[in-house]
Structure 1
Amino acid sequence: MEMLPRIGRATVDVLTVLLDSPEPRWGLELITMTGRPSGTVYPLLDRLEKAGWVESRWDDDAERRGPRRRCYTLTPDGAEAARDVVRQARSRHVRRSFGPARGAEATG
């Protein structure tokens, strides 16, 4: 599994949805759930798959009408890495939200 060269907010959003999902998610579903555009989500899923974080397969549901769906799940190593990434992102968000105000001097 490769480390990702850059992990932005969109990556964190997609990883969060995949971590919280007990079943595979397809691309359009990830787009809807994250609020990110397809031009962000699909290239991101491709990078995650090439890095070994995500695996995909075609949905074989013959009962469902419409085009086939590509379903995505985290690999075991990808899930472990995703948990670390999401935890770090939440920690940064909390520090930004509740940390000292910019320009505040330390008291001691």
Structure 2
Amino acid sequence: MKPVSLSPEAVVELAEAAAWYETRQPGLAIRFLQEVDHTQHAIQSRPLSFPKLAHTSVDLEIRRALLPQFPYALVFIELQTETRILAAAHTKRHPDYWLNRLQKP
């Protein structure tokens, strides 16, 4: 199994989402982050089981793992030595806003 890493942008997105959930209900941020952790483990153990994003114009296999209880998806690619989570994307907002992150090393 390859390790899973988060892009700096994904870290910020997760922190912002967790903070927002905590303002809505105490303890909800913990539930959100537990789901993120569970989904990261699923990505690490079976990355190819998640669907490819076919609508992107980039010639890479970009995949998406939905969080079961929250409207977020972890968007990721497989690299030689790791699986990189590019974005923690809200599923109801600005699809593909994270595509420019593919240009970064």
TM-score, scaled relative to structure 2:
0.27
Bigger-Rg structure (1/2):
1
Looking at secondary structure, tell me which structure has more strand per residue: 2
- What TM-score do the two structures reach when normalised by structure 1? 0.27
